């Protein structure tokens, strides 16, 4: 299963605003949030009632910049399902340039039990 979404780099996504750097480019934390969002969307409506998926691991390389106003394409593909563990391949592109890529892991949990523990 795969998903792809397009996003516009906005001011609140910039490294200089997020606090992860001193330049006006898409921050690594913002890029990761976009990747997680697209991955989560793949399984959100396919999970058993009362369950959700939660992010547990991200391993990505941020390889190139995207500037304020740029459109980025974020892709995710579900690569592995092992019990409650879901593993996604994720990437972020600016035009044809890969600006980030890696792996994201999520686990399926009972929503109510998870919230009680938090």
Given a contact cutoff of 8 angstroms between Cβ atoms, the answer to whether 45 and 11 are in contact is no
HSE, CB side, 13 Å, CA atoms: give it for residue 57.
10
Q: Comparing C-alpha atoms, which of 59, 69, 61, 66 is closest to residue 93? A: 66
Measured distance CA(105)–CA(51) in Å, rounded: 16
Retrieve residue 8's tokens: 């516009």
Q: For every one of its 118 residues, what pLDDT tens digit does the chain have, with 9 covering 90 and above?
A: 999 999 999 999 999 999 999 999 999 999 999 999 999 999 999 999 999 999 999 999 999 999 999 999 999 999 999 999 999 999 999 999 999 999 999 999 999 999 997 5
Cα 32–84–118 angle (5° rounding)?
65
What's the DSSP call for residue 112? H
- Going across the sheet that includes 51-62, the strands are 2-8, 71-82, 85-94, 97-110, 51-62
| Top-level class of domain 2-117 | alpha beta
pLDDT score, position 47: 97
């Amino acid at each position: 299963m795969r998903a792809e979404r397009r996003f516009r780099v906005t001011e609140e996504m910039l490294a200089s605003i997020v606090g992860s750097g001193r330049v006006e480019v898409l921050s690594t934390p913002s890029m990761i949030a976009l990747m997680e969002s697209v991955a989560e969307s793949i399984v959100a409506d396919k999970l058993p009632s009362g369950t959700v998926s939660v992010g547990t691991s991200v391993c990505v390389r941020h390889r190139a910049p995207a500037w304020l106003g740029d459109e980025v394409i974020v892709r995710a593909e579900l690569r592995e399902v092992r019990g409650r563990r879901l593993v996604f391949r994720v990437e972020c592109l600016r035009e044809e340039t890969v600006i980030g890529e890696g792996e994201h892991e999520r686990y399926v949990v009972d929503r109510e039990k998870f919230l009680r523990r938090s």
